[in-house]
Structure 1
Amino acid sequence: MNAGQQTTRRLASRAGQSICRSCRDSISRTYASAAAAAVQTEDQISQHIPPVAQASPSTSYAVNAGIVLSRPPQITRDLHPFESAFFLYQRRLNERLALPFTRYFYFKKRTPADLEWKRKMKQRLTPARDIGRYKGYGEEAWNDEVLVGANESKFEWQVEKLLEDAEQSGAEPGAADAPGTKKIEREPVDRPMPRVTEADKKNDTKSLDRALQRTLYLLVKNKEGRWEFPQDKLREENLHGAAHRIITHTGGVNINTWLVGHVPIGHHQIDYPEARPVENLNEHGAKTFFLKARIMAGQVNLKENKLGLQDFKWLAKDELKQEVDGSYWRSIKNMLAER
């Protein structure tokens, strides 16, 4: 049976009318080519339209808003050994290129800067303060490489030498006590803050003064005893409004935060072993959509939190992995910064 005959039979059956054989054959011959081009067979239709599974209208998921609250790095990271060696090489090379110039290229004669330079050169024996001594002229001029393990290659040693040079006036010991000599007063030098804090030494995970080179994330222990990001169900509000409420209900009103955007940066889904009846629906799980936020000032205070939270920690990405469940970690790991 060709396509035209199939079309005729279907039209007849739909209209509930009977057609004689001669009329049916005439229609088939006249419209066979047009019907073959326009009509697909039932087999072809079944190949192109996959069956669609109809979800039960009573099936639903609870929608939660979660907060990825973070404190960004406060200081630059430690240099890689190759970077440290390269920067030291560049500073020493710059000194070699500057040696042929007379000091009057940098300092005007008989100015305080020129006098201080001459005094300090007697103590330094080299223009450089932080990269070691070097004789640009003489038999040892060729010996300008830093040996492996030398103190000059250590960052802490370089900082101490710079501070020591800034604190000294360049005068000889006891010279200020000589008759007719004016004592040189030096202003106190502010020393840099340590890169390793007391919170690092004590491993105080509740402090924001630890791991200054890393990004720290707020992790809370919920009322079931599970560690996760702060979250709660939506209450006739959008995600952005719920995020503001969750931050206040978690950390209190004395925490200054900033929501970075209105768009979620990720989500986590939980499927319940058995459906939970909620009003007229059966909840088969929960979906949590996370928004990104930054802490600007303040600290978390759980004394008056309204979410039943038991504890909190500020953790880096690798530390956070040890606290959360495996499925939760797989959902959130790509949202977190490595440092």
Structure 2
Amino acid sequence: MFSRSVLSSCRSSSRAVLGRSFATEAQITESAASTSSPQPTRPKKTARPNLHTAIILNRSPLISRTPTPFEKAFYAYQARIHRALHNPFSTDFYFKQGAPLETRFNIEERRRERRAFGHPFGQDTSEERNEAAELMEVAMRDEVDESMPRIHEADVKNDVKNLNRRGQRNLYLLLKTQEDGKDVWRFPQGSIENDEYLHIAAHRRLDAECGQHMDTWIVSRNPIGVYHPSKPTVTAENAEKEVVFFYKAHILAGQVRPDQTRYQDFAWLTKGEISRRTDEKYWAGIKDMLSDF
């Protein structure tokens, strides 16, 4: 059996070992806490951007574009082939023989033949003299099938406010206003009210900026583009930024009457003409939303 002195010595030695282990664990915890990375800081609260809606009001082309010389030659060649291979028109079924309408149709048919194949096609080959046909030809001598001119009076006068100008191209409405003491040309634009949908704001701003004297149609509830204008006078990091959402619309009838308290002038311009009136940054943000034709 162990004596009491031996047991007491064993107990004291075990307490010493446990004390050293507790001290080592505390030192490790303290060193780990001292070497750990600092707590991440919360990001600074940024200002909410001001939202705006802008309308790209489009007047679609009124006439087809002028064909190239190659296209003209191709279409003329196809028309001659079609006319040479088509079945003859049965005049006996539609016209009474010798009636004035039959005589008029025969004259018009010979004109079309001459226009397609040239001289000597389209001549009257009948040997008998037809006095009624001669009188009809004299009466129809001044009738010439000509299309309307492709250059409108507004193109000659360079009237940029006329919706009939540049009938072969897409036209877009631009308004002239003042920003930072400078004259600026841009699309109709306005701010959004609190808790207002973007497409509803676009409808409201179109009437407010351009008047209610025209019939328009906004294509979709979804914007077709976004633009972030920059203000050179604002340099603070938490300054309010602006975001402009663009919506596309078509004018069907009427004319724009902009708010004279905000805008000094307006113009219907093509894509190339818009690039010459707007600044470089604004043009870079909107050019991909416009049609090249």
1:71 aligns with 2:59: yes
1:133 aligns with 2:118: yes
Cα distance in 1 between the residues matched to 2:156 and 2:24: 99
1:270 aligns with 2:229: yes
**Contact 1:70/1:215 (8 A) holds in 2:** yes
Aligned to 1:234: 192
Cα deviation per residue 1:186-235 (whole Å; 9 max; x = unaligned)? 9x889643221110111111110101111100011123221111111112
Cα deviation per residue 1:53-108 (whole Å; 9 max; x = unaligned)? 9753133322111111111111111112211101111122233335xx7x5x6322
Cα distance in 1 between the residues matched to 2:274 and 2:215: 23
- Work out the number of aligned pairs and report it: 243
**Contact 1:119/1:170 (8 A) holds in 2:** no
Which one scores higher on RCO, CA 8 angstroms, separation ≥ 6? 2
Match among 281, 285, 289 for residue 335 of structure 1? 289
Opposite residue 178 of structure 2, the aligned amino acid is K
Match among 187, 209, 219 for residue 260 of structure 1? 219
1:197 aligns with 2:160: no
Opposite residue 168 of structure 2, the aligned amino acid is Q
1:285 aligns with 2:241: yes
Q: 1:283 to 1:171 in 2, by over 3 A?
A: farther
Match among 246, 261, 267 for residue 205 of structure 2? 246
Q: 1:228 to 1:135 in 2, by over 3 A?
A: same
Cα deviation per residue 1:37-60 (whole Å; 9 max; x = unaligned)? xxxxxxxxxxxxxxx997531333
Q: Which runs of 5+ in 1 are unaligned?
A: 1-16, 22-51, 137-168, 177-183
Query: What's the Cα RMSD here?
Result: 3.8
Q: Which moved more, 1:244-253 or 1:291-300?
A: 244-253
**Contact 1:206/1:314 (8 A) holds in 2:** yes
Q: 1:132 to 1:300 in 2, by over 3 A?
A: same
Q: Which runs of 5+ in 2 are unaligned?
A: 1-20, 26-39, 122-130
1:326 aligns with 2:280: yes
Identity %: 36
Cα deviation per residue 1:303-333 (whole Å; 9 max; x = unaligned)? x445x11111100111111111111111111
Q: TM-score, normalised by structure 1?
A: 0.61
Q: 1:268 to 1:118 in 2, by over 3 A?
A: closer
Offset of residue 170 of structure 1: 7.9
